[in-house]
Amino acid sequence: QTVSSLKKPLKQNEPCKRLALYYHDIMFNGTNVANATAATVANETRLGDFKFGKLVVFDDPMTKDAQLSTPVARAQGFYFYDMKTDYNAWFAYTLIFNSSDYKGTLNIMGADMMMEETRDLSVVGGTGDFFMARGIVTFRTDAVAGAAYFRVQMDIKLYECY
Amino acid sequence: QTVSSLKKPLKQNEPCKRLALYYHDIMFNGTNVANATAATVANETRLGDFKFGKLVVFDDPMTKDAQLSTPVARAQGFYFYDMKTDYNAWFAYTLIFNSSDYKGTLNIMGADMMMEETRDLSVVGGTGDFFMARGIVTFRTDAVAGAAYFRVQMDIKLYECY
Amino acid sequence: QTVSSLKKPLKQNEPCKRLALYYHDIMFNGTNVANATAATVANETRLGDFKFGKLVVFDDPMTKDAQLSTPVARAQGFYFYDMKTDYNAWFAYTLIFNSSDYKGTLNIMGADMMMEETRDLSVVGGTGDFFMARGIVTFRTDAVAGAAYFRVQMDIKLYECY
């Protein structure tokens, strides 16, 4: 029998793998080369008062705890602000694991609706230990220090594991 | 028995969900803050005469009809022009639904070969009511008003629904 | 019986389709409009000495052999550099096929860890002859000529074919 579409019973509360990590974004201010992990590559436009269009490239540490301890992964990619009436962002990036626990990458994209308590982005692919993975990453802002630093808890839930 | 790859009988004309919406892109010209929904964040280069490299960030309304009526979703993301010899673009964005019909997001990327009558991009993931969705979005240019405005019909066809 | 997650026996060495192609990136230097296939749209920042943040848009030929012969596909998208301590990049792009062999696109994203001999990115979707495809692309740098040109072998392995 031929079926034309798939409806599999995936359950949102039963991922096949789950990792909760903290993302630390330390903005380059022109002088903090040693510490900075992210830099502005295109300035905000004058469309609204919430940095619309500001584009940031990052190579950010991912840690197990909220403290900025030894990273267990790197997050490499970019985000930009994209709303006139509030702070709101859009992300695309790769999580790179190279530890005794995991070697491989996860590729992620989606909207970061910062005014929401939590927001979901898509894990659209993976390599290495995460070969062909798919899933969801739930963002929760954990700390903000003006324009200098912010920290996001990223709760990574994979629903396709191979 | 072990199989090493999948060949499932998906049919292109039988999506498990389908939504046809209109995307409205209203460029910021420096003065139309109230109406504009998109802004240039990196200017075109001098490689050819078709705006090669011009990068635009948008937070665009999606409507059910071609008229710019009450949006049923937002499209947040970016596009850039990328051809020397004709207008051609590349998109990555998120459709954000927050209505009584749907709550959730769809994440989309692909080439917008504007010289073609229609062109297909990929739905690479989804969240909320579109949890783990995949599919195709078919673009068809519906209206263009110089550099100020354009409208694209986006025919969203999901083939993986959960 | 309901299962909450999938663990299918995909084998990394048995893709359902495989294509090895060469990507040629010829940078625009302000004068080589006829030959150039890529242009800088945002300049590098001063975060480190490895072009952190430099953003390049490309419409690059893909060939069967290492020589820059008749393209069998185009690669349209962007990359940017994103490391303070070495050259490292991040790519998102579409492979566009329009030949007697294949008509359709493949959408790809991921980290290009240039210091590694090979690195894997994700094929996150496809259209046309590659309808709904997923897989892995393995990058291997094949040639570099300063800032003017580089060539990467892209070994495309699809594990979901429809």
Q: Domain-by-domain residue ranges, chain B?
A: 17-160
pLDDT at res. C5: 53
In the predicted model, what is the mean pLDDT of residues B122-145?
98
Does A72 lie at the interface with C, CB-CB under 8 angstroms? no
In the predicted model, what is the mean pLDDT of residues C109-115?
97
Residues of B in contact with A83 (CB under 8 A): 59, 76
**Cβ–Cβ of B39/A55 closer than 8 Å?**
no
pLDDT at res. B83: 98
* DSSP string computed for C89-120: EEEEEEEEEESSS-EEEEEEEEEE-TTSS-EE
Give the confidence band of A101 by pLDDT, cuts at 50, 70, 90.
very high
pLDDT tens track for A77-87: 999 999 999 99
In the predicted model, what is the mean pLDDT of residues C118-144?
98
Cα–Cα distances in angstroms (integers) from residue A5 to residues A22, A37, B160, C60, in the given order: 37, 43, 6, 35
Q: Which CATH class is domain C17-160?
A: mainly beta
Of C10, C16, C41, the CB nearest to B55: C41
Q: Which residue of A has its CA nearest to B125?
A: A122
Helix and strand totals (H; E) in chain A: 0, 10
Give the confidence band of A10 by pLDDT, cuts at 50, 70, 90.
confident
Does C5 lie at the interface with A, CB-CB under 8 angstroms? yes
Residues of C in contact with A42 (CB under 8 A): 42, 55
Does A91 lie at the interface with C, CB-CB under 8 angstroms? no
- The chains found to touch A (3+ Cβ pairs under 8 angstroms) are B, C
pLDDT tens track for C45-76: 999 999 999 999 999 999 999 999 999 999 99
- Predicted ipTM? 0.95
